[in-house]
Chains A and B, each alone.
Chain A
């Protein structure tokens, strides 16, 4: 996880020109993980809503919210489509061990790859007729590209949380989770991911503001 975070950090660094001390970042993550484990056991699950906006107050879609509490077996199927020379969805969040299929809906072929540590894979040229899937065994951020189409970028967030999800177009998300520590992440947000404690039965949706990179800069 550390390495993935590191990568993400570097990505943010590209915009800010800011150089972080790797040790302090590691310590912060370690602390947050420890707290998450401590808070895991007793609380009963309840519905908690999140509302993620950018600095201008516009809803941020695709923001990933994941609890620090671990658990949750692999259920369901996960798909990362390639259509109109883009990855769809742009952001996908999956539990550790999930198998994600990469159907190609375009008429051209794609060469999908990721060099993200722990989850490296390469799906050499395949077309519409071919079925390809990858199982992600390590938590972290997986940046996905196409060797043929440099503009194609997508992200898969592999988590081991008890509860997780991503915001819709309205920037809203409701999770069935015990109150406690959560982490909010978006690949196009500047700086590190945000970790916060969610109280029990909040009156309103938990509001989180992310500082986003300028539009058009991201691939």
Chain B
């Protein structure tokens, strides 16, 4: 598969390999066909020769058999010999067969007697094999091959009758190597002849048979007895048969290899000439994809040349179209002025050229542009803006950018803040006059904003243009002709988190403190409790208002740490009060978040118990609304463990009678917004009156907050408010002052 990828990655390789492989296959097929036909041819001609040799052998075999039979018949007919055999005159028989054996070269003779004894020229008598004897009895003149002691013989037998059968005259010749060689020598090609058991040769008589590198023909030989069937097998090695064709095969191989090499080389060259322009185009497209435009350098008359020409034309078109798009992207569609994007680009360009801080940005704003546009239409409003831009250009010498619908931007050389503001005022003054659009006069009121590059600010929160827009907002808000950007006015969201971490530090370092605002009993004028309020004195920023950091702490999840600190501090301060002889309930404000926090509840209960404290948790109704079940269960938990509950700021937010009923509070605090109005309206007075009565009906004490004067004290006391709180009674006091305050108002009691 790796080779597939390697080939597939290049057209040139693909062409070369494909055509070389095809040609190779054709050559292989042709060479194979030629070889096959040569082989078949060779086999056929050798086969003919082999069959001829077999025929010759059969002929010789028959001649030899006839020769031996003739000699045996002559012997068997001899009267004296017959007499010798009939009378079993062994020495005479032996001498007779020795005589004829000597006469016939290459032949041997012997006599078989009816009882199976066999007498040869030496006169020895040996038993004949049974199958030979049977053949002689059952056949007239048996003839064929005899296997005796591992050797082969051609043999014939002729009966001797005197006049009845008295024996057989036998003749035989050795089928030895010499006999085979003489047969082999008769063939035109150097064949090999041998006698084999027929079952050792798979070919049939008359057929050409191929086996293990040899080709051969065979002929069955008649058997003298019923011994194993034998065959003459004539073989010839295939390699020898193919030898005459070897130079031809070699030549084909050489030509094939040469042709193949030629094709690979020429194919490579051709493929290269084909693929070079494609590669050039391929590269050009890649360069284009990477964002660069480079024309293809290709000059030829063929399709590739035309393709390259088209590509280059396309490149040029692409370039001009791209420029048009860039131009369009820099333009404001309505007015044809350059847009904010163009201004940004130009600022970046200037800063690149002259370094950061090289330019300031001014924004000239058309006030109440929406109204203008609504009265004269979008197109006319845009024309008015365009006319204004030309006026500004007349004044400043440069055409402004349109950065918002009503804002035109200008790049100013960096100069002092004062000079810049002055030039903006000048523009505003010079251009704040009616322009004529479609024959009617349109009043344009302007203001301006300035943004100077501030090198001291490490991370300006927004870019110069936005700063200038914000400055224009300031000018619009303050109804001044021009304003410059102020970080203080903009605020800095990034400082929130650092403020919180500083607050957490302050809980440890003593930056936080509690002050106590007394609650005075309207019954006897004694101080009946304190509300603990938090104060934070920041080492660098000075006093920080709880209104600014408590909401932050709630948002960022630091409220629990803050509340815990307050609870612990209140418990400590209560101990101090007790040591000084005053045992008062201290109220602590609990955020809504704490009412869904089991962990805080358990912690607070534990601390109150271990400290033996008497605390009241002031909660608001809204704190209950988000998860009423949870909040009420925690409130009940506080109650059951001796912590008082007070409903704070009643009447300021959403008030629900159903929650009021469910919250098991001891105390209800009427919000100061009601109390402050109590002198002015009868409605508030009625509401306070009915609230006090409602609270009392529900078993709660009532605290009125925001008590500012004696008159109010009188009114509330008359209404039945149980205690009063406010600046008229006392501002929130640090602990030591609170102690002093108590000493003047309350009788000291010994608690210890």
- A residues at B contact (CB < 8 Å): 7, 10-11, 13-17, 19, 113, 115, 117, 120, 143-147, 150, 152-153, 219
Of the candidates B82, B86, B163, B165, which one forms a contact with A14 in the assembled complex, judged by CB atoms under 8 Å apart? B165
Q: Is B547 an interface residue (CB 8 A)?
A: no
Q: Report A5 CB to chain B, min CB distance, Å.
A: 13
Which residue of chain A has its CB nearest to the CB of B115?
A10
In the bound complex, do residue A115 and residue B162 qualify as a contact, i.e. CB atoms below 8 Å apart? yes
Of the candidates B87, B137, B163, which one forms a contact with A145 in the assembled complex, judged by CB atoms under 8 Å apart? B163
Q: Report B82 CB to chain A, min CB distance, Å.
A: 7
Measured between beta carbons, the chain A residues less than 8 angstroms from B162 are: 113, 115, 143, 145
Distance between Cα atoms of A211 and B75 in the complex (Å): 33
Of the candidates A14, A115, A117, which one forms a contact with B83 in the assembled complex, judged by CB atoms under 8 Å apart? A115
Q: Report A110 CB to chain B, min CB distance, Å.
A: 12
Q: Report B643 CB to chain A, min CB distance, Å.
A: 141
For the complex, count residues of B whose C-beta is within 8 A of A: 19
> Beta-carbon contacts of B129-163 to A below 8 Å, as 1s and 0s?
00001100110000000000000000000000111
Which 4 residue pairs of A and B lie closest in terms of their CB atoms, listed nearest first?
A: A145-B163, A115-B86, A10-B114, A17-B137
Measured between beta carbons, the chain B residues less than 8 angstroms from A10 are: 114-115, 165
Residues A144 and B163 in contact in the complex (CB < 8 Å), given A10-B115, A13-B114, A13-B137: yes
Measured between beta carbons, the chain A residues less than 8 angstroms from B83 are: 113, 115
Q: Report B207 CB to chain A, min CB distance, Å.
A: 36
Measured between beta carbons, the chain A residues less than 8 angstroms from B164 are: 7, 11, 143, 145, 153, 219
Which residue of chain A has its CB nearest to the CB of B165?
A14
Measured between beta carbons, the chain A residues less than 8 angstroms from B161 are: 145, 150, 219
In the bound complex, do residue A11 and residue B163 qualify as a contact, i.e. CB atoms below 8 Å apart? no
6 contacts between A and B (CB under 8 A): A10-B115, A14-B165, A15-B137, A17-B134, A143-B162, A143-B163
Q: Is B116 an interface residue (CB 8 A)?
A: yes
Residues A14 and B137 in contact in the complex (CB < 8 Å), given A150-B161, A153-B164: yes
In the bound complex, do residue B87 and residue A115 qualify as a contact, i.e. CB atoms below 8 Å apart? yes
Distance between Cα atoms of A10 and B163 in the complex (Å): 13
Which residue of chain A has its CB nearest to the CB of B87?
A115
Distance between Cα atoms of A87 and B718 in the complex (Å): 193
Interface centre among A11, A143, A219 (most CB of B within 10 A): A143
Which residue of chain A has its CB nearest to the CB of B162?
A115
> Beta-carbon contacts of B164-196 to A below 8 Å, as 1s and 0s?
111000000000000000000000000000000
Q: Is B285 an interface residue (CB 8 A)?
A: no
Measured between beta carbons, the chain A residues less than 8 angstroms from B137 are: 13-17
Measured between beta carbons, the chain A residues less than 8 angstroms from B87 are: 115, 117, 120
Q: Is B659 an interface residue (CB 8 A)?
A: no
Q: Is B77 an interface residue (CB 8 A)?
A: yes
Interface centre among B82, B134, B164, B165 (most CB of A within 10 A): B164
In the bound complex, do residue A150 and residue B163 qualify as a contact, i.e. CB atoms below 8 Å apart? yes
Distance between Cα atoms of A11 and B115 in the complex (Å): 11
Distance between Cα atoms of A19 and B86 in the complex (Å): 19
Q: Is B537 an interface residue (CB 8 A)?
A: no
In the bound complex, do residue A115 and residue B134 qualify as a contact, i.e. CB atoms below 8 Å apart? no
In the bound complex, do residue B114 and residue A150 qualify as a contact, i.e. CB atoms below 8 Å apart? no
Measured between beta carbons, the chain A residues less than 8 angstroms from B116 are: 19
In the bound complex, do residue A17 and residue B86 qualify as a contact, i.e. CB atoms below 8 Å apart? no
Q: Is B727 an interface residue (CB 8 A)?
A: no
Measured between beta carbons, the chain B residues less than 8 angstroms from A11 are: 164-165
Measured between beta carbons, the chain A residues less than 8 angstroms from B133 are: 19
In the bound complex, do residue B165 and residue A152 qualify as a contact, i.e. CB atoms below 8 Å apart? no
Q: Report B225 CB to chain A, min CB distance, Å.
A: 12
Distance between Cα atoms of A150 and B162 in the complex (Å): 8
Of the candidates A17, A120, A153, which one forms a contact with B163 in the assembled complex, judged by CB atoms under 8 Å apart? A153
Distance between Cα atoms of A84 and B87 in the complex (Å): 29
Distance between Cα atoms of A195 and B314 in the complex (Å): 133
Distance between Cα atoms of A94 and B86 in the complex (Å): 23
Distance between Cα atoms of A120 and B83 in the complex (Å): 10
Which residue of chain A has its CB nearest to the CB of B78?
A147
Measured between beta carbons, the chain B residues less than 8 angstroms from A115 are: 82-83, 86-87, 162, 166
Distance between Cα atoms of A107 and B77 in the complex (Å): 23
Distance between Cα atoms of A15 and B114 in the complex (Å): 12
Measured between beta carbons, the chain B residues less than 8 angstroms from A147 are: 79
Distance between Cα atoms of A219 and B161 in the complex (Å): 10
Measured between beta carbons, the chain A residues less than 8 angstroms from B79 are: 113, 147
Distance between Cα atoms of A17 and B138 in the complex (Å): 7
Distance between Cα atoms of A115 and B164 in the complex (Å): 10
Which residue of chain B has its CB nearest to the CB of A218?
B164
Q: A19-B116, A153-B164 are in contact. List 12 more A-B contacts (CB 8 A).
A: A10-B114, A14-B137, A15-B137, A113-B79, A113-B162, A115-B83, A117-B87, A120-B87, A143-B162, A145-B161, A145-B163, A150-B161
Distance between Cα atoms of A120 and B88 in the complex (Å): 14
Measured between beta carbons, the chain A residues less than 8 angstroms from B166 are: 115
Distance between Cα atoms of A143 and B87 in the complex (Å): 13
Which residue of chain A has its CB nearest to the CB of B138?
A17
Measured between beta carbons, the chain B residues less than 8 angstroms from A17 are: 134, 137-138
Which B521-538 residues have a C-beta within 8 angstroms of A?
none
Measured between beta carbons, the chain B residues less than 8 angstroms from A14 are: 114, 137, 165
Distance between Cα atoms of A115 and B86 in the complex (Å): 6
Q: Report B139 CB to chain A, min CB distance, Å.
A: 10
Distance between Cα atoms of A153 and B138 in the complex (Å): 21
Distance between Cα atoms of A14 and B166 in the complex (Å): 10
Distance between Cα atoms of A87 and B116 in the complex (Å): 31
Distance between Cα atoms of A153 and B87 in the complex (Å): 18
Which residue of chain B has its CB nearest to the CB of A87?
B163
Q: Report A186 CB to chain B, min CB distance, Å.
A: 14
Distance between Cα atoms of A55 and B164 in the complex (Å): 24
Measured between beta carbons, the chain B residues less than 8 angstroms from A15 are: 137
Q: Report B77 CB to chain A, min CB distance, Å.
A: 7
> Beta-carbon contacts of B473-512 to A below 8 Å, as 1s and 0s?
0000000000000000000000000000000000000000
Distance between Cα atoms of A146 and B77 in the complex (Å): 12
Distance between Cα atoms of A17 and B114 in the complex (Å): 10
Distance between Cα atoms of A82 and B134 in the complex (Å): 35
Q: Report A13 CB to chain B, min CB distance, Å.
A: 6
Q: Report A179 CB to chain B, min CB distance, Å.
A: 34
Which residue of chain B has its CB nearest to the CB of A151?
B163
Measured between beta carbons, the chain B residues less than 8 angstroms from A19 are: 115-116, 133
In the bound complex, do residue B163 and residue A152 qualify as a contact, i.e. CB atoms below 8 Å apart? yes
Measured between beta carbons, the chain B residues less than 8 angstroms from A219 are: 161, 163-164
Distance between Cα atoms of A153 and B166 in the complex (Å): 14
Which residue of chain A has its CB nearest to the CB of B83?
A115
Measured between beta carbons, the chain A residues less than 8 angstroms from B114 are: 10, 13-14
Measured between beta carbons, the chain B residues less than 8 angstroms from A145 are: 161-164
Distance between Cα atoms of A145 and B160 in the complex (Å): 13
Distance between Cα atoms of A146 and B162 in the complex (Å): 9
Which residue of chain A has its CB nearest to the CB of B86?
A115
Distance between Cα atoms of A143 and B162 in the complex (Å): 8
